[in-house]
Structure 1
C-alpha cells in the first residue's frame, strides 16, 4: 500500500496533466488582484463594478458548463483542454488591452467560459489515465493545486503589480497558460480515439442532447453517496460564502488591522494546503468520505460560531489564537473538498464524468453566487457577528444531521446483518 500521495506522479500521463493544472489554477488566481486594482483604482469604479466582475466570473459555470459538458464528452478531452487553455491565453490578452469595464467584462466572461469547459474535460481525463487505487492521491493533488493557488496566485499577483505595474500579472498569466498547454501535448490520446465501426452491425442511434444532459444529472441523484456529497458541498459553500465577504469586517471586530488581515486569510489558505497534504498521506478516509465531510462541517461550524462570539466580545484571543483557529478552519475545509473530489471520481463512470462534474459544479457555483447577496442583507438586518453565529449554527446542524443519518443507517445495516 502506497502512503505517499506523490507516488501517483510516477504516472507520466497524470504528471503532465497535473503540471498543466498547476499553471491553469495559477492563471485563475494570478489576475485576481490585478482586475480589482484596475477596476477600483485605475478606473475609480465602485462596489457595483466589483460585483459585476464576480457575477461574470461565476455565471458560465452555472449556465454554460452543464450544457457544454455534453459536447465535451463527445470530443477528445486532450484537444478540448489544449484549445480552451490557448483561448484563455488569448482572452487574458484581451483583459490586458481592455479600455473600459464593458470590454473587460466581455473578456472575463469568455475566459470563465473556457474555464468551465476545461474543468469537466480535466476531470474526465483523470478518470481515464489514473488507476482506481491511485484515485484518492490524484484527487488530493488536484485539490492541493486548487487550494495552494488560491494563496500563491493573489500573493504573486500583488508582488508583480508592485514591481512591474498593475497590468503585469496578465502577461505572466499568458505565459503560464502557454506553458500549461505544452504539457497537455504530452498527454496520451488513450480513450480519445474513435472506436472501430463494424459495417455489418446496425448503427446505434446516439441519444439526443437533452437525454445526455439529463443522464448526467440523473446519475447524481441515483447514487446516494454522490447525491449526499454534492448537496452537502453545495450547502456548505452557500454557508461559507454567506459570511466570506463579511470576513474583513469581523476581522476588524476581533482586533485585526488592514495589514494583519492578510495574515488571517493566508492562515485559512495554509490550513487547507496542510489538510490536503495530510489527507493525501493518510487515505483510510476513502472508506467513509461522507462521514469525514459531515464531521468536518460539524467542527467548522463551531469555529465559525466562535469567531462570531469574538465579534460580540464574549471572549478575546491574542492574534496567534485567531490565526490558529483560521488555520484549523482551512484544514477542516480540505477535509470536505478532498473527500468530495474522491466521491465524484470514484462514483462516476468515465463516460459520464464531464456531465456529472459540470452539473455538480453548476449547483455549487450557484450557491456561491447567491450567498454573498444574502449575507449582505443579513448583515444589515442582524449585524455581522450574528451572521457568523447563524452560519456557524447552520454548518454544525448540517454536519451533525448528515453524520447522524449515516451512523444510524450503518447501525441498521449491522443489526440486519447480525439478525
Structure 2
C-alpha cells in the first residue's frame, strides 16, 4: 500500500467522515462474538439459535441496502447519519438488556436496519467531502476501513469478553457510536443546495419507474461487466461456503478444547492473520493484474486449512491449542487474498457515479448468500454433525478455487481485460 491512499486525510471534512466510519464499521462487527457467546455459552442454545442471529444480522442489508442506495441521495445525509447513530446506541442498549433470544433477535434486526441505511449515506457523503481528483483514494481508504473492521471487530470483541465479561462489548460499542456522532458533528454544513435543486428538477419528472430504472442500472452494470460479474459471483459463493460453517465455529472451538475464556484467542488469531494479509496485499500489488488468480489460489489454501480444522474437531488430527491458533492465523491470512482482489475489481470496474448502487447490489447478493447459508449449515450440522459440515465446506472451497483456476486458464479472461 503506498502513501497515496492516505492523501484524502489531509482534508478536514473527510477526516471527520472517515473517523466516524471507523467507529461505525467497528460497531457493526464488535458484538458478533458477543452474540454467539451469549446464545451458545450463557443460554446454552443450539445451532439453530446461532443461525437465527446471523440471519437477523444480515437480512436488513438485503432488503434495505439496495433501495436505500437510491433514496439516500435525495435526503440530507449528515443529519440522517447522526440520527442513525443515535438509534444504534438505543438498539445496542436493547441488546445489553435482552432477556431472551426473541427480544435479542428484534434488536439485532433493528440495529442492522439502521446500519443498512447509514452505509449508503456514508458512501454518498464522500463526494461532498473530497475533491474529485482524490476520490479514488478516498473510496479505497473507505473500503479498507470496512474490510478491516470486519476482521478486527470480532477479534476485539473476543478480547473484551475475556477481560470484562460476555456483555461488555455492547458498552464499548455504544461509546464508539457516540464518538462517531461527535466526529460527524464537526463536519461543516455541506453545500448541497445545488445538488438538491438538481434533484428537485429531476424529481418533477421522476416516478416509480425512474426509481426502478436507477436500481436496475446497478444490476445491469454488474451483469454486463465480465470481470466484475465473475468477482461478485465468486465472492457470493465464497460467502455462502464461509457462513455455512461460520455460525458453527463456536461449537468447533468447543470440540477443539477451547473454553469461553480462550475462545477469543482463536478469533483474535483469525483477525491478526487477516490484518497481516491485508498489509501484504497493500504493499505487494502485482496481483492487481490477475485478481481472480489470487482469489482462487487463496481458496485452495484456505480450503485445505478448513479441512484440517474439521479433522481436528473429530480427533483425526491432534494439535496443541497453540497449533490451532496458528492455523486460525493462516486461515485469516488467506482471507485477505480473497477480499482484497474483490475490492479492487469492484472499484476499478465501476464508474464513480454508480458506486453506491453497484456496491449496494453486490453487497446484497453477498449478504443473501450469507443469510441462507447459516440455516443450511445448522440443518446439516444436526444431520451429519458440525465437524463433517466443516470438512465439507473446506472441500467445497478447494473445489471452487480449482474450477475458477481452470476456467480462467482456458478463457484467459483477465489478461484480455487488462490488455484492452
Query: Could you say whether these structures have the same fold, taking a TM-score greater than 0.5 normalized by the shorter chain as the test?
Result: yes
For residues 310-365 of structure 1, give each alpha carbon's deviation from its aligned partner in whole angstroms, at most 9, with x where no partner exists: 34544433433322221111011122122222322332223322222222222211
Instruction: Name the SS of the counterpart of 2:268 in structure 1.
Output: helix
Shift of 1:65: 1.8
Would you say the 8 A contact 1:120–1:357 is kept in 2? no
For residue 343 of structure 2, the aligned residue among 338, 341, 344 is: 341
CA–CA distance in 2 between the matches of 1:222 and 1:79?
Answer: 36
Shift of 1:133: 5.2
CA–CA distance in 1 between the matches of 2:405 and 2:61?
Answer: 29
Shift of 1:27: 2.1
Q: How has the CA–CA distance of structure 1 residues 350 and 182 changed in structure 2, closer, same or farther, with 3 Å as cutoff?
A: farther
For residue 230 of structure 1, the aligned residue among 229, 232, 239 is: 232
CA–CA distance in 2 between the matches of 1:25 and 1:136?
Answer: 15
Equivalent positions of 1:320-335 (< 5 A) are: 320-335=322-337
Instruction: Name the SS of the counterpart of 2:194 in structure 1.
Output: coil
Matched, 1:149 2:153: yes
Instruction: Name the SS of the counterpart of 2:318 in structure 1.
Output: coil
Would you say the 8 A contact 2:290–2:415 is kept in 1? no
Matched, 1:109 2:113: no
For residues 63-119 of structure 1, give each alpha carbon's deviation from its aligned partner in whole angstroms, at most 9, with x where no partner exists: 222222211233344443233223222333444565665554433322211101112
Would you say the 8 A contact 2:162–2:262 is kept in 1? no
Shift of 1:257: 5.0
Matched, 1:58 2:62: no
Instruction: Name the SS of the counterpart of 2:2 in structure 1.
Output: coil
Shift of 1:123: 3.2
Q: How has the CA–CA distance of structure 1 residues 3 and 119 changed in structure 2, closer, same or farther, with 3 Å as cutoff?
A: same
Q: How has the CA–CA distance of structure 1 residues 261 and 160 changed in structure 2, closer, same or farther, with 3 Å as cutoff?
A: closer
CA–CA distance in 1 between the matches of 2:340 and 2:192?
Answer: 27
Shift of 1:134: 6.1
Equivalent positions of 1:186-225 (< 5 A) are: 186-187=186-187, 192-195=192-195, 205-206=205-206, 208-225=210-227
- Farther off after superposition, 334-343 or 10-19: 10-19
Q: How has the CA–CA distance of structure 1 residues 350 and 106 changed in structure 2, closer, same or farther, with 3 Å as cutoff?
A: same
- Structure 1, unaligned runs of 5 or more: none
Would you say the 8 A contact 1:5–1:281 is kept in 2? no
- Farther off after superposition, 76-85 or 189-198: 189-198
Q: How has the CA–CA distance of structure 1 residues 106 and 362 changed in structure 2, closer, same or farther, with 3 Å as cutoff?
A: same
Equivalent positions of 1:1-80 (< 5 A) are: 2-3=2-3, 6=6, 9-32=9-32, 46-47=45-46, 51-80=51-80
Shift of 1:298: 1.9
- Farther off after superposition, 252-261 or 376-385: 252-261
Shift of 1:266: 1.9
TM-score by length of 2: 0.82
Shift of 1:191: 8.6
Equivalent positions of 1:368-383 (< 5 A) are: 368-383=370-385
- Farther off after superposition, 368-377 or 227-236: 368-377
Matched, 1:391 2:382: no
CA–CA distance in 2 between the matches of 1:322 and 1:229?
Answer: 30
- Farther off after superposition, 358-367 or 32-41: 32-41
Matched, 1:265 2:262: no
- Farther off after superposition, 307-316 or 234-243: 307-316
Q: How has the CA–CA distance of structure 1 residues 73 and 274 changed in structure 2, closer, same or farther, with 3 Å as cutoff?
A: same
CA–CA distance in 2 between the matches of 1:176 and 1:71?
Answer: 27
TM-score by length of 1: 0.83
For residues 229-271 of structure 1, give each alpha carbon's deviation from its aligned partner in whole angstroms, at most 9, with x where no partner exists: 1111111111111122333443455554554443222211211
Would you say the 8 A contact 1:34–1:161 is kept in 2? no
* Structure 2 equivalent of residue 290 of structure 1: 292
Shift of 1:381: 3.3
Shift of 1:272: 1.0
CA–CA distance in 2 between the matches of 1:174 and 1:413?
Answer: 47
* Structure 2 equivalent of residue 279 of structure 1: 281
Instruction: Name the SS of the counterpart of 2:69 in structure 1.
Output: helix
Matched, 1:356 2:358: yes
Would you say the 8 A contact 1:136–1:286 is kept in 2? no
